[in-house]
Chains A and B, each alone.
Chain A
Amino acid sequence: MDKFEVLTGVAAPLPMINVDTDMIIPKQFLKTIKRTGLGKSLFFEMRYDDAGNENPAFVLNKPAYRNAKILVAGANFGCGSSREHAPWSILDFGIRCVIAPSFADIFYNNCFKNGILPIRLPQEICDKLMKAAENGANATFTVDLRAEEIHMPDGETVKFSTDEFRRHCLLNGLDDIGLTLVKKPKIDTYEAARKADQPWV
């Protein structure tokens, strides 16, 4: 998992509430053998028409937002199923931070497992961020997890807070494997002893 310290990028506005996991990634894409490669199918139903052509009105198809790294959305984002394909598709698109007034529980947890920072903020602050995000290519935010601050394009700073342990894991890029790798010196010591004792291993 990549570390999440400071992220600077364009924020895309998605002013909808109850964006569910089927909207994020519909079920025909769950057959994949991959966790990556789902980015092109992110928000599939909204993003493409029946013939598979891009819908130019959808935010992520607009030139200014094609490389968005942050998503500002409405309440209850990520409701529906537990599919981890949802955060996988968001990550694969290139978005590493989602800001919303509230998130569905499972989706919220899944984000942390995949190196995505979900930020919960009061509705009125989200409204302000949403408005700023509507400025197209000028909507560049900086999300500083260490300081727990969002720097908006106009220079204003918004504070947020995260669970201490999760922040620690994200800042250090620690997933389950990452946590084991903290014990790397112990693994190294073990391997060295085994190698001396049982060189055939």
Chain B
Amino acid sequence: MTAPRTLFDKIWESHLVDRQDDGTCLIYIDRHLVHEVTSPQAFEGLALSGRKVHRPMQTLAVADHNVPTTDRSQGIADPESRTQVDTLEANGKAFGVRVFGMSDERQGIVHIVGPEQGFTLPGMTIVCGDSHTSTHGAFGSLAFGIGTSEVEHVLATQTLVQAPAKNMRIRVEGKLPKGATAKDIVLKIIATIGTAGGTGYVIEYAGEAIRNLSMEGRMTICNMSIEGGARAGLIAPDETTFAYVKGRPMAPQGADWGKAVAYWKTLVTDEGARFDREIVIDAAEIVPQVTWGTSPEDVVPITGAVPNPEDAADEAKANAMRRSLEYMGLTAGQKIEEVKIDRVFIGSCTNGRIEDLRAAASVAKGRKVDPTVKAMVVPGSGLVKRQAEAEGLDAIFREAGFEWREPGCSMCLAMNADKLEPGERCASTSNRNFEGRQGRGGRTHLVSPEIAAASAITGYLTDVRKFLA
């Protein structure tokens, strides 16, 4: 009998092509997602060396970072952005790789498109030249971000040279209280382990509160693994996973389906498998969360107050806090719910899926965005947008005074025209609150879609529970 293995061990071992004497491994890559920013030099490398894409059908490209979220009939105004997007489409043609172009309804943020199409499947290895590739771990697949030279390596060989990671398990036990969401769970986790806590690990998320989440909620959790320092997060596939995957355009069909599900059911951590680190969090203690600073670990409950640097564990942390407070324009002790906001951004690969939009719309319905706030909703993909419109969510948002946009990364990283002005404060459903992330001098508070919508209505960071019946 073999020793008990973790889910990570199982996926890793089933993808080993070669193991060198020094311990580095050549692992097979099942799925490769490609976007316009990190791929041009990789394709160029292939062209220069006369190589082909080894498995074009295991590769899927989509433009997301640079695309405008307003009327696209005029194309992209910024020449450098336009060049990158055009380059992706040209590379797709030249190398036989499928590209969901800007006018394709399936276009959207790469980490939303993969699962939506059934391109992302349990038990796979999935890479993309993008750190939030961790999102796909929600399906029980080993998914992580890579650099441009590795993108080229995968395109050419469908493999990667890698060393195995350490195993961490985070169990979120019990039931979530009302008003708390997947976003609040993951913010709580990052606050607990810190932004470097997951470095060198693959994190498996387990426990009742994780099991009870929908696939979309699970994606929100795995998405932000990287903010906790882990390259990848994993959730064992179960009936929720199979139900989500079934019938998607690129999912297994017919006899393959049954065979696939039988295999996927083996993808669980064995009883007694060893983890290098294990953490247990009580779900009952998770309340709606918000970040106050410029690191994703700067988390407080929405009902709390801005912390005081004097209370920091050490001087280095205290200095970092002072810098954050100054950048964020906040003072220690200030009540979070008294913080005035100027902008609201609902979208991104963290919270730009249909359930996120439904949750935000349920808060916005029949209410009005505060006149001092500019709020926008950016669906994560064209299909999310279509679904939302079919459900009338766009009308709810528009009537409430939100802007309803075309899909893309948008103000998550402000590479296109959507950005904060210096000093503007934003309640954002995205994943990074770094200085300048949403525009130079912009101030980001990471929150759930529900809190973002509630804050748009009051004009202040707001506990969504006040809006719940």
CB of B365 closer than 8 Å to a CB of A: no
Tell me which residues across on chain A come within 8 A of B252, comparing CB atoms.
Answer: 199-200
Out of B50, B51, B158, B260, name the residue touching A200 (CB < 8 Å): B260
Q: A187-B158, A201-B124 are in contact. Are A36 and B17 (CB under 8 A)?
A: no
CB of B44 closer than 8 Å to a CB of A: yes
Interface residues in B87-108 (C-beta closer than 8 Å to A): 87
CB of A146 closer than 8 Å to a CB of B: no
- Stretch binding the partner chain, chosen from A48-56, A125-133, A174-182: A174-182
Interface residues in B35-65 (C-beta closer than 8 Å to A): 40-41, 44-45, 47-51, 58
Interface residues in A124-160 (C-beta closer than 8 Å to B): none
**Number of residues from A at the complex interface, CB < 8 A:** 26
Out of A176, A181, A199, name the residue touching B256 (CB < 8 Å): A199
Tell me which residues across on chain B come within 8 A of A105, comparing CB atoms.
Answer: none
Out of A115, A176, A180, A190, name the residue touching B149 (CB < 8 Å): A176
Are A200 and B156 closer than 8 Å at their CB atoms? no
Q: A180-B26, A187-B17 are in contact. Are A35 and B260 (CB under 8 A)?
A: no
Are B256 and A194 closer than 8 Å at their CB atoms? no
Tell me which residues across on chain B come within 8 A of A175, comparing CB atoms.
Answer: 49
CA distance A201 to B259 in the complex (A): 12
CB of B153 closer than 8 Å to a CB of A: yes
Are B48 and A33 closer than 8 Å at their CB atoms? no
CB of B387 closer than 8 Å to a CB of A: no
CA distance A28 to B60 in the complex (A): 32
CA distance A201 to B256 in the complex (A): 10
CA distance A3 to B15 in the complex (A): 31
Q: A2-B50, A190-B17, A194-B28 are in contact. Are A177 and B157 (CB under 8 A)?
A: yes
Interface residues in B335-384 (C-beta closer than 8 Å to A): none
Interface residues in A1-59 (C-beta closer than 8 Å to B): 1-2, 31, 33-36
Tell me which residues across on chain A come within 8 A of B275, comparing CB atoms.
Answer: none
CA distance A43 to B280 in the complex (A): 60
Q: A181-B157, A200-B260 are in contact. Are A33 and B41 (CB under 8 A)?
A: yes
Are B28 and A1 closer than 8 Å at their CB atoms? no
Tell me which residues across on chain A come within 8 A of B467, comparing CB atoms.
Answer: none
Tell me which residues across on chain A come within 8 A of B44, comparing CB atoms.
Answer: 34-36
Are B50 and A201 closer than 8 Å at their CB atoms? no
Out of A2, A34, A184, A186, name the residue touching B49 (CB < 8 Å): A2
CB of B120 closer than 8 Å to a CB of A: no
Interface residues in A101-130 (C-beta closer than 8 Å to B): 115
Are B30 and A180 closer than 8 Å at their CB atoms? no
CB of B121 closer than 8 Å to a CB of A: yes
Are B17 and A1 closer than 8 Å at their CB atoms? no
Are B49 and A187 closer than 8 Å at their CB atoms? no
Main secondary structure of the interface of B (DSSP, over half): helix
Tell me which residues across on chain A come within 8 A of B49, comparing CB atoms.
Answer: 1-2, 115, 173, 175, 177
Q: How far is the CB of B188 from chain A (nearest CB, A)?
A: 35
CA distance A69 to B223 in the complex (A): 49
Q: Please, which residue of chain A has its CB at the minimum distance from the CB of B252?
A: A200
CA distance A36 to B48 in the complex (A): 8
Are A186 and B157 closer than 8 Å at their CB atoms? no
Are A180 and B153 closer than 8 Å at their CB atoms? yes
Are A183 and B41 closer than 8 Å at their CB atoms? no
Interface code B77-92, partner A: CB below 8 Å = 1, 0 otherwise?
0001001100100000
Interface code A74-97, partner B: CB below 8 Å = 1, 0 otherwise?
000000000000000001000000
CB of B18 closer than 8 Å to a CB of A: yes
Are A187 and B28 closer than 8 Å at their CB atoms? yes
Tell me which residues across on chain B come within 8 A of A190, comparing CB atoms.
Answer: 17, 28
Q: How far is the CB of A180 from chain B (nearest CB, A)?
A: 5
CA distance A44 to B48 in the complex (A): 22
CA distance A173 to B41 in the complex (A): 19
Q: A36-B44, A176-B149, A190-B17 are in contact. Are A181 and B28 (CB under 8 A)?
A: no
Are B158 and A177 closer than 8 Å at their CB atoms? no
Q: How far is the CB of B211 from chain A (nearest CB, A)?
A: 25
Q: Please, which residue of chain A has its CB at the minimum distance from the CB of B27?
A: A190
Out of A34, A173, A186, A200, name the residue touching B40 (CB < 8 Å): A34
CA distance A181 to B153 in the complex (A): 10
Q: A2-B49, A33-B40 are in contact. Are A181 and B156 (CB under 8 A)?
A: yes
Q: Please, which residue of chain A has its CB at the minimum distance from the CB of B45?
A: A35
Q: Please, which residue of chain B has its CB at the minimum distance from the CB of A33?
A: B40
Tell me which residues across on chain B come within 8 A of A115, comparing CB atoms.
Answer: 49
Q: Please, which residue of chain A has its CB at the minimum distance from the CB of B125?
A: A201
CA distance A52 to B251 in the complex (A): 55
5 A–B contacts, CB within 8 A, in A order: A177-B49, A180-B26, A180-B153, A190-B17, A200-B256
Residues of A within 8 A of B (CB): 1-2, 31, 33-36, 91, 115, 173, 175-177, 180-181, 183-184, 186-187, 190-191, 194, 198-201
3 residue pairs, one from A and one from B, having the closest CB atoms? A200-B252, A33-B40, A190-B17
